[in-house]
Each structure stands twice: as structure tokens, then as C-alpha cells.
Amino acid sequence: MLERLFQLNAHNTNVRTEILAGVTTFLTMAYILFVNPSILGETGMDKGAVFVATCLAAAFGSAVMGLIANYPIALAPGMGLNAFFTYTVVLGMGHTWQVALGAVFLSACLFFLLSIFKIREWIINSIPLELRSAIAAGIGLFLALIALQNAGIVAANPATMVGLGDLGSPAALLAILGFFLIIGMEALRITGAVLISILVVTGLSILLGVSEFGGLVSMPPSLAPTFMQLDIAGALDVGLISVIFAFLFVDLFDNSGTLIAVAKKAGLMRKDGHLPKMGRALIADSTAALGGSLLGTSTTTSYIESAAGVSAGGRTGLTAIVVAVLFLFALFFAPLAGSVPAFATAPALLFVAVLMASGMAEIEWSDITVAAPVVVTALAMPLTYSIATGIAFGFITWVAAKTLAGRFRELNGMLIALAIFCVIKLALF
């Protein structure tokens, strides 16, 4: 049955290898079980319900990817997208988390339509690679600021807006230790470095009396507080159009980049650069995002950590199925997730920020019409505390720079339309 479903022999793999790959991928991305409830919980959402929604969304998304596309790619609520959900849409703009879930649902519907009608390639090709890299880097810097705040390393300062926090506090010291642990283990290529760091910092925090231990295992908490609680009508407000498109664009770029990178590493990409079953993979991703919004979590997307499973030999959707099963098993560890303090997940956020900021290396800094929009985009996100605003600044600056430099022909209709829309959005809403 497994051979018929996943064509193991054709991909030069076997059940044992696929299971090992699935376990490897799960260990590298299981940190989301602790980070996602911590972030979304700040909106007022029930953390227990968010934990269950995270497990189910990851299990559902990974299973759909494995069965529909037969790719060794796992899915879960995306980093950056959950921060945008909490700190921009809810805490920054003042919308309820129910409305934010409605925006996630609508963006997933648009993503599904783009995948069905194959408009995705046109949109991605219309946005310059440098601007896409800047958006990823900006989200990374935004996550870094949140991480440093959660750790107490950066604090509010009335004179300078931000300043140095209390580095002698247990939270700051444990967070710094956690980050160094991740860096060291990653350098040594230890699988599950982020997860190990979170558990070590949490354990030390409990032993030192800084935080309390809530238990290890139990029956899963109720999903009722978040299940089907999305407010679609509220998300249709004109002021939320940019939010819906921000969810869409970030997911679109992040997902496409992840699919291409992991598929290339797995040897699934043809020599001409074409990725077979790309349409199926995108449909699986958008379906997972739809399911996640109904369960009660931010946008579900493909995880670059899937590359770890590919390195372990994963080549088919069976790897993703194994990840799905493990996320279902994780449902019984809700008490452990509730015991993890915010400063224990801060190192994970900071590490993800490091990975996302690495895209800045691809920028052609000698071209000022490229460098200026990139820097504006990346800096605007943490400094305005809004991913959507950073994206808007980036589109506007790119079009203005190219136009004033006499290089209007380098622009396309999509970019110009997006820049005009962003100007109107910033001016009126």
C-alpha cells in the first residue's frame, strides 16, 4: 500500500528511511508547539486551544501535502505570520483575534484561487527577487525585536524609544544561554537544536524557581475556545484589505521559496528548473491555511526545516505523513507546552531571525535603486512594528527610486499598481 501511495522504489527510498526523515523533520520544527501558543496567546486567545489548533493544523497540513503532492515537506503555523497576526493586526491595529482569523481565512481563499488558476507564477515574477529577500529579512528583524523584548534584553526607554533591559535578570540570562546553545548545537549539526534549547531553558527556569511546572502529559485541552471562531464579516472591512494581502504575499513568497529549496535539495526538481506537481503542493498549502484558520491559528505554511528530513533521506510524502502522526501524538503534551515561559522561546525567535536575515546577502548593494528600497523595507517592519507597513514602504520606495532614476522601464504593471494601492492605504487608513 505504501509503495502504491508514495512510489518509494521510484524515489530510491524505503519505509525505514522515510520514518527516520519524518522524525528528523519533526524534531527540527517541534519548537512551534511552544512558540505559537506563546505568541498568539498575547492576543487573548486560549493558549491550550491554540496548542491543540497548532498540532491539528500541522498534522492536517503535513498529511495533505504528503498525500496530494507526495513531497517530503511538512507544514505548521508559520513564523513571522504568527507575529504579524499578533503584534500588527491585533495589538497594533486593535482588531480582535477573531477578525484576524477571518483575514487569514480570506487570504487562504485567495491563495487557493491563485493556485487553481496558476496566477502564482505571474505574481511572484512581478516582484523583484531583491524585494522578496528584503521582506524576508525585515520579518526576521521584526522577530528579533520581539525575541529581545520577551527576554527582557531590550526594554522601553522614554528618551530613545528602546534601550537595554536588565541583563542581570534570570529571564535575560536564561534566554542568552538558550540562544548560545542553539548556535553551538546548530554548528555541530545536532538535530532538534531549537527544541532542545527550549526544553533546557524551561527545565533550568523551573529548577531555579523562576517559572512553574504545569505537568508533562494529559488529555488534550478543549479546542472549543478557538474552533470556528473566525469573524469573516469583520475581516471584509476596507481597512483590512492590506492585512489580507500582507498575509497572502508573505505566505506566497515564503511557501514558494521553501518548496523550491527543499525540492531542489531532494532532487525532485527537473534540470530545466521545473518543479513537478508544484500546483498540487500549492493547493495543499492553501488548503492547510484554510483548515488552520477554522481550527484557530495563524497561517499554516511549508517549513524550510523539512530540508533536515531530506538530508536524512526523505524523498516522498511518507516523510510528511510521519510528521503528521507525530504532531497528533504531541497533543498529549499540552501541560509541558503550558510550562514554557516566553523567555524560553525567545532564543528560537532570535535564531529564526538570523536565518531569515541571511537573504540580505543576495542584494546588489552597488545599485542604490535596489539598496535603498531593501533597507527601507527591512527597517520599517521592526521600527513601525508592522510587517504590512514594511511591505508597503518597500513597494513605494522601489517604484519611486526606479522612476526618479530614469529607469521606469524596469517596472511592471503589478509593481506600480501595488505601490499606488499602498500610498492610498497609508494615506486614508
Q: What is the pLDDT of residues 60-114, one digit of tens each?
A: 999 999 999 888 999 999 888 898 899 989 998 899 999 999 999 999 999 888 8
Q: What angle do CA 59, 64, 69 make, to 5 degrees?
A: 135
Q: Is 400 exposed, middle or buried (0-12, 13-18, 19+ CB in 10 A)?
A: middle
Q: Cα(73)–Cα(76) distance, rounded to whole angstroms?
A: 10
User: Where residue 272 falls among pLDDT bands split at 50, 70, 90?
Assistant: low
Q: Is the model more confident about 11 or about 86?
A: 86
Q: Quick one: how far is CA 306 from the chain centroid?
A: 13
User: Where residue 321 falls among pLDDT bands split at 50, 70, 90?
Assistant: very high
Q: Quick one: pLDDT at residue 8?
A: 81
What is the grid cell recorded at 94?
Answer: 486593535
**Residue ranges of the alpha helices (H) in 188-316?**
193-207, 232-235, 241-265, 278-295, 306-311
End-to-end CA distance of the chain: 55
- Cβ atoms of 147 and 346 closer than 8 Å: yes
Q: What angle do CA 416, 422, 427 make, to 5 degrees?
A: 130
Q: Quick one: pLDDT at residue 395?
A: 92
Q: SS3 helix, strand, coil % of the chain, rounded to 5?
A: 70, 5, 25
Task: From residue 203, give the alpha-carbon distance in Å to each of 196, 340, 427.
Answer: 10, 9, 49
- Other CB atoms within a 10 A radius of the CB of residue 40 amount to 30
Q: Quick one: pLDDT at residue 271?
A: 65
- The contacts of residue 293 (CB under 8 Å, 6+ apart) are 101, 102, 104, 105, 108, 230, 299
Residue 419: domain span: 2-428
Compute the chain's Rg from CA coordinates. 21
User: Where residue 274 falls among pLDDT bands split at 50, 70, 90?
Assistant: low
Residue linked to cell 505570520? 81
What is the grid cell recorded at 88?
Answer: 500588527
- 265 has a pLDDT exceeding 60: yes
- Cβ atoms of 339 and 202 closer than 8 Å: yes
- 119 has a pLDDT exceeding 90: no
Domains in the chain: how many in total?
A: 1
Q: Cα(27)–Cα(110) distance, rounded to whole angstroms?
A: 31
- 273 has a pLDDT exceeding 60: no
- 31 has a pLDDT exceeding 70: yes
